[in-house]
């Protein structure tokens, strides 16, 4: 990841007189959703970059050591070897950006990645009462400490939506600041749960508040809300990132999550980052895609490119 964002003192003036031009945001989002995507070898290159930015995730109630182990093997070997050889990328060391699991599965992921010679791949853990966050603060902080102790180097926390919805931004700041401290050396990714914030104005204020509190990444969604990652929300968040950078000179990453399954969407997300923030924000240090099924479709598209227009059968590209 990029250098950590240390945060700054809470400044309520940064949240005053916020106005979102809704029609303009909608028009910009529409251009992203309908544009022609890159083709052939250029598309393949973009898709390989997207692979490197995926947080390969399993957050199910029936997660076990064995399915986490399979996920970690796929994280280390996300694209079939014959496809990489055909593209002359077999020595590029392509892996996903991280493996994301529940705190109780972090130790399993650490062991599995070590066994697969992928111990350099970060293990991310959700925490703080994911996905609702409706737990006492001390319990949420202890969950962070537990995940870090188990070996997580990235922590995806959920913010207090009750405070956000009532405009208690100093309260949100204070909690996220404590969560940052609980992370120790681990990087902090704050999930805004944008589908539950009520307005784009609240999305901007939540983004700025979390960055002031020291978030290294801001993330759209838990993936469990009714509405997850959308381009309208993303535009508000990445422009908040740009504003924060201009104010502080600290770079904060962005992670859309929830409902991202198609390879063409991954290219669109990358183009959004390139156009709004620049090339540096198309690397895994500052951009992640929260997904699991997405990797299957990317590999299918790479297969299609390598094998002259033939799509792979389901058994040719298993998830693990």
* Residue 224: active-site member: no
* Residue 251: active-site member: no
Distance, C-alpha 109 to centroid of its chain = 18
Quickly count helices (H) and strands (E) in the chain: 12, 8
The closest alpha carbon to 156, from 104, 209, 237, 216, belongs to: 216
CA Rg, the chain, in Å? Answer: 19
What tokens does 275 get? 């156009």
The single residue of 74, 180, 219, 251 carrying the catalytic annotation is: 219
* Per-residue 3-state assignment (H helix, E strand, C coil) for 190-253: EECCHHHCCCHHHHHHHHHHHHHCCCCEEECCCCCCCCCCCHHHHHHHHHHHHHHHHHHCCCCE
What tokens does 49 get? 């970059």
Backbone angles phi, psi at 6, to 5 degrees: -75, -15
Q: Coil, strand or helix: which one is 187?
A: strand
- Report d(CA 214, CA 183) in Å as an integer: 11
Backbone angles phi, psi at 19, to 5 degrees: -130, 125
DSSP 287: B
Active site amino acids: 219, 255
């Amino acid at each position: 990841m990029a250098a950590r964002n240390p945060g700054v003192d809470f400044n309520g003036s940064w949240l005053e007189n916020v106005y979102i031009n809704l029609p303009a945001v909608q028009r910009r989002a529409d251009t992203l959703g309908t544009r022609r995507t890159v083709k052939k070898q250029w598309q393949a290159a973009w898709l390989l970059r997207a692979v490197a930015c995926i947080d390969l995730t399993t957050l199910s109630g029936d997660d076990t050591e064995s399915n986490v182990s399979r996920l970690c093997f796929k994280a280390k070997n996300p694209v079939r070897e014959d496809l990489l050889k055909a593209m002359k990328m077999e020595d590029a060391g392509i892996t996903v950006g991280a493996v994301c699991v529940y705190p109780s599965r972090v130790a399993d992921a650490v062991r599995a990645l070590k066994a697969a010679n992928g111990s350099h791949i970060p293990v991310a853990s959700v925490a703080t009462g994911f996905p609702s966050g409706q737990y006492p603060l001390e319990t949420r902080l202890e969950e962070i400490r537990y995940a870090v102790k188990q070996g997580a180097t990235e922590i995806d926390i959920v913010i207090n939506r009750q405070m956000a919805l009532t405009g208690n931004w100093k309260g949100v700041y204070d909690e996220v600041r404590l969560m940052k401290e609980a992370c120790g050396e681990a990087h902090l990714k704050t999930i805004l749960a944008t589908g539950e914030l009520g307005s784009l104005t609240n999305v901007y204020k939540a983004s700025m508040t979390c960055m002031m509190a020291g978030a290294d990444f801001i993330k759209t969604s838990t993936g469990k809300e009714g509405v997850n990652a959308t381009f309208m929300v993303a535009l508000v968040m990445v422009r908040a990132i740009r504003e924060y950078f201009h104010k502080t000179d600290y770079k904060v990453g962005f992670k859309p999550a929830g409902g991202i399954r198609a390879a063409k969407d991954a290219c669109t997300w990358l183009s959004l980052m390139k156009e709004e923030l620049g090339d540096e924000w198309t690397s895994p240090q500052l951009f992640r895609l929260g997904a699991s099924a997405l990797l299957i479709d990317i590999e299918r598209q790479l297969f299609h490119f390598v094998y002259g227009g033939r799509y792979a059968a389901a058994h040719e590209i298993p998830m693990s």
